[in-house]
Each structure stands twice: as structure tokens, then as C-alpha cells.
Structure 1
Amino acid sequence: MDNAQASEDREDFSSSTANATWSRLLAGNRRFVEGKVQHPWQDKETRNSLIERQNPDAAILSCSDSRVPPEIIFDAGLGDIFAVRTAGQMIDDAVLSSLEYAVDDLHVSLLIVMGHEGCGAIKAAVQAFEQLGPQGIAESDSYILHAVSPSVIQAHEAELDDSADIERVHIARTIEHLVERSTVIREALSEERLMIVGARYELTTGKVEVLSF
């Protein structure tokens, strides 16, 4: 097999695996929305099979909000999702290292960045922007404000003031920062070993909105 054919096969395998994983997770979310959850792979046998190793299909960076647990939202089971959760999906060195481990060592083909409706971190950033302005935020000692407020400012510059739109801007910006800051993630994307998708969870409906950027 020549290099071109090998590259094509790798692309087909990676994209098909990622798309199949994403389709399965979205099917689980539909079950969650409809109240028809199956709680798959949560039995004793599955638990025992995962003692020595894990092989998750997807990694998710999502908010720490107690109302937004990925495994429940996607009706997933043990070992399905490698989840990293911080307030407002904030990125720091620990988050990057965790996601890079998922990509390079666990070989996940899908990375989901998921924000949500009514995010408290974004609400706090919006309030700070309205009260303090960009300069006041820059002088603040709040890590959350420094991490989230640039998304609020970007949305304001684009004349977007609806909370849902600000949340979507923040998700897009988080994806951009992951790619900018992580060589591991950039290489996985360029080699077509990884697909990144953006999503927004709706508290009011339980539905995961798929975002395109």
C-alpha cells in the first residue's frame, strides 16, 4: 500500500469512527430528551471489564455545572466518555494535559466542547462587563472573568447580546484556543486522527444543540 492510499484509509477510518461516535451520543441524547434512557454499559460485567484499561470513544470538555453531566445527557455508559469539566469550560494547563492524554494515549477520535444554556460563568462575565467594562475586568483578580470575559467582549463587538449567542461565541472561542494552545491537538487534526465539534446543552429541553463554525 502506498503512502497516499494509507493516508486515505486513515482519514476514512478516523472520520467514520468519529461520526459514528457522535451519532451514537446524539442518539443517546434523544433518548434522554424523550425520557427513554437505557443506561447502557453500567452493569457489573462492564465495570469489571474496565478495571485494567479504558478505551473511551470521545473526550468532552464541558462546564462543571451540576445540571450538565455529560454521561447522563448522552445516556452513555462506563468507559464511553473521557470527561473534563471546568466552570465555563475554562482552559488551563491541567485541562490541556488531560485532553492531550485523551487524544495521544487513549486515541479518542472525537473531541466535544460543550457549553450550556444559563451558564453562570458567562452570566458573571456579562455582569462584570456591564458594570466594570473591559478595563475593570483586566484589573480584576478573578480567574473566571479573565477566562470567560473575552468571549463576552467578542460577542459585544459583533453586536450579539442574546445570552444564547454569547454562549455559542464562547464555545467557538474555546475550540479556537484549544487548537491554538495544543500542538498535540493541532497535529491530530492535521493528520485527521481527530474531529472537534461544538455543542450547547439546553437546560429547558434537555437537548444538545450541534454547532457549526
Structure 2
Amino acid sequence: MNLENAHLIGTNLSGTNLQNINLSNANLLPADLFIAELTNANLTNANLTKANLSQANLSKTNLSQANLHQANLNSANLRDANLSNTNLIFANFREGDLTETNLNGANLNSASSFNVNLKDIYLSSTNLPGTNLRSVNFQKVSIRKNKLTRSNFDDLKLSGACLMNADLNAINLQQAILITAKLREVNLRNANLINADLSGVNLSGAD
């Protein structure tokens, strides 16, 4: 189905099968897509501001450059989805699955991601200041040269993660698991590392 440039403001699409649909440039503010099936859908540049995408299946969905400001993505399946250059300010990912998701260039400023699986995701040049990432699984993730100032990474799993050259000023890493993580030339000024596990971590050149 092709709904490119469609105006679907406030539309109730909860539980709808929208697999492989083209919703690029569509206006879905603030549509209800609760438990919707959106596998392989094209939502490029779509307006999903305040949309309800909780428990939706967005596996392999293209959401690049979409506006998901204040969107509800609680328990959503975003495995292998493309969220590059997406606006995710104040979005909520509680208990979502973002395994192998592409978040390159995405804006996650003040987003909330409690108990989320972010294993093997792509975060190049992603904006994460003020983000709440408590109890998130970030194993083997590359977060090079990202800005994570004042983010909450309490009880985070970062084993084997690469955070080289990242700005972690005033970050909360209390009880975080950072075993063998790469923290070369990282800015850790005013960071909270109380009870964090730094076994085997490379901190050469860190500030």
C-alpha cells in the first residue's frame, strides 16, 4: 500500500497490519499505532510527533529523518530498524528492543530508555545529552565522539563498548558494568562512577 504524503492526523491504526507500507512524508500526528504491524514499512521523513507506537512491531522499518518527538515507543520492537537522523527528543523507549538499530545522527536529547536492549546498535554522531538510559544493555556498542553529558547510565551494561573520544561530562555511571570497555581520551569530568565495574577498561588519555 502506498500512502506517501498522506494526512493521517489523529488516525486510529492500533492493531493494524501495515507491513511493507509506504508512509514516507506522511503526517501521523498524533496517530495511535499501538501493537501495529509495521515490519519493513517506509516511514522516512514521517511526522510521528506524540504518536503511540507502544508494542508496535517496527523491525527493519525505515524511520530515517522521521519526527518522533515525544513518541511512545514503550515495548516496541525496533530490531534492525533505521532511525538515522531521526528526531527522538523526549521519546520513550521503556523496555523496547533496539538490537542492531541504526541511530546514527539521531537526536535522543532527554529521551527515556529504561531497561532497553541496545546491543550492537550504531550511534555515530548521535546526540544524547540528558538522556535517561538506566538499566540499558549497551554491550559491544560503539559510541565514539558522541555527546552524552548529564545522561543517566545508572546500572548500565557497557561491557566491551567503545566510547573513545566521547564527552561524558557529569554522566551518571553508578553501578554500570564497563568490563573491557574502551574509554580512551574520554571526558569523564564530574562523572559518577560509584560502584561501577571498570575491570580491564582502557582509560589511556581520559580526562
Per the TM superposition, whether the score is higher than 0.5 is no
Rg larger in 1 or in 2?
A: 1
Greater relative CO (CA pairs within 8 A, separation 6+): 1
Which has a greater percent of helix? 1
Taking structure 2 as the reference length, the TM-score comes to 0.22
